[in-house]
Amino acid sequence: MVKQPHQFNGDVWNVAIEVLYGRRPRVLYVIPNFGSGGAERIVSSLIVGIDRSRYDVAAVSLFGRTTTDVQEAIDRASVPVWYLGKHVGFDPRMYWRLSRVLREYRPDIVHTHKYVLRYLFPFLFGRHDWIVVHTVHNVPEKEVDRIGLLIHRICFSRGVVPVAIASRVAEGLKELYKINEPVVIPNGIDVHAYRSLRGMRNQWRQELGLSSEEIVFVCVASLRPQKNHRLLLRAFARVVAQAPHARLLLAGDGPERPQLESLASELGVSSRVSFLGFRRDTPKVLCASDVFVLASDWEGNPLAVMEAMAAGKPVIATAVGGVPELIEDGRSGILIRAGDEGALVRAMVQLTNSAVREAMGRSAEERASARFSAKGMIDGYELLYERLLAKRRSVARN
């Protein structure tokens, strides 16, 4: 059984907070940087969407500024942001720089993401007046390195509240850290942004150099081992033998790009595979495509799958992490075992059938509209903050 945040009456809540704090509670989001990944986009959604009549918000980026669309969204939000200038690798300067931010901002809630708990770790042993929430964006055993796992175990034992983004992640928290009834708040996206471009399909196809006859498979993911693009390329080469008009778009960049480009050449499909690099126009790329494919070895609750479904695309994905919680197998997409090249080939060939694609795409869009809204996610975090602050208020009274 997964614990959900308790619902509070808004008027009673606001009065109680004014009595306790004399101001709105302050939430400080701490993340490595405002890159283009899923965790970064979730933080951006929270910063932009949280109810400012009830909370003041600020953020810390351990590294410097980026040039991503996420950074632009943060800039538009007009919130205080501290950029701490971290070096690559372990950087002990983060301790005193983060300490300075905590003294200056005096947060009521510190909400951490990815590996940053290791830099907040020492402050948990002293006297402090803030609550710490940590969102686990991947399966727990893959979230951080061995030292990070130890630090997280200690942090959770000292009152840091972990939040799972999927039931599979919650199960991992139970197994790895012995946490009873973890809070689960699924990720959410701006569903409308992906639905609204449907009428532009032909235009985006022309811009991407795609013909109307091509069956376009797309994968939006960073080019790193976790995503297993090698398996995807091998499967696609076998699909092309049966469907010569098939095409594969790889949107994303990363350390494996040179090796993947070489593999595509070795497989004889270079002319049918397009490496698009990092894209700011993911909704357009999805709109121009027919089928979304993700061959990951592990995942948390991937936003790319949710975005593809919101765009009305059927999804072929490995049944890892929280992915089976997103896709209804055989209805809105097809789930396969991780590493199963034959199953991936069969699924891709099955979706070369336009009638099957269209039926699954409609189902995917309906499911996304009903379940994947950013508002639902933001409401979940606000309710969690309320519960934790109310608990602290009760302790303060006693």
Summarize the confidence of residues 116-129 as an average pLDDT: 89
Q: Is residue 242 part of a domain?
A: yes
User: Does one domain contain both 291 and 162?
Assistant: no
C-alpha 162/C-alpha 160 separation (Å) is 6
Q: Is residue 284 part of a domain?
A: yes
User: Does one domain contain both 282 and 200?
Assistant: yes
The pLDDT score that the predictor gives to residue 6 is 39
Q: Is residue 166 part of a domain?
A: yes
User: Does one domain contain both 181 and 245?
Assistant: no
The parent domain of residue 40 ranges over 10-188+373-393
User: Does one domain contain both 111 and 247?
Assistant: no
The pLDDT score that the predictor gives to residue 16 is 47
The pLDDT score that the predictor gives to residue 1 is 35
User: Does one domain contain both 160 and 262?
Assistant: no
* Tally of domains in the chain: 2
Q: How does pLDDT run across 198-207, given as a tens digit for each residue?
A: 778 888 898 8
User: Does one domain contain both 356 and 209?
Assistant: yes
Summarize the confidence of residues 57-80 as an average pLDDT: 96
User: Does one domain contain both 128 and 229?
Assistant: no
Q: Is residue 3 part of a domain?
A: no
User: Does one domain contain both 221 and 166?
Assistant: no
C-alpha 83/C-alpha 140 separation (Å) is 27
The pLDDT score that the predictor gives to residue 171 is 96
User: Does one domain contain both 232 and 83?
Assistant: no
Q: What angle do CA 71, 303, 202 make, to 5 degrees?
A: 90
Instruction: Kindly list the distances between the CA atom of residue 176 and the CA atoms of 94, 105, 115, 180, in Å, as whole numbers in the listed order.
Output: 27, 33, 16, 11
Summarize the confidence of residues 383-395 as an average pLDDT: 91
User: Does one domain contain both 234 and 266?
Assistant: yes
User: Does one domain contain both 84 and 221?
Assistant: no
User: What's the order of all strands across the beta sheet hosting 81-83?
Assistant: 81-83, 56-61, 26-31, 109-113, 131-136, 161-164, 183-184
Q: What is the CATH number of the domain that holds 157?
A: 3.40.50.2000
What does DSSP assign to residue 111? E
pTM of the complete model: 0.89
What is the length of the chain?
Answer: 398
Summarize the confidence of residues 218-230 as an average pLDDT: 97
| Token pair for 149 | 């796992």
- Secondary structure E strands in 312-362: 315-318, 333-336
| pLDDT, averaged across the chain | 92
Q: How does pLDDT run across 239-263, given as a tens digit for each residue?
A: 999 999 999 999 999 999 999 999 9
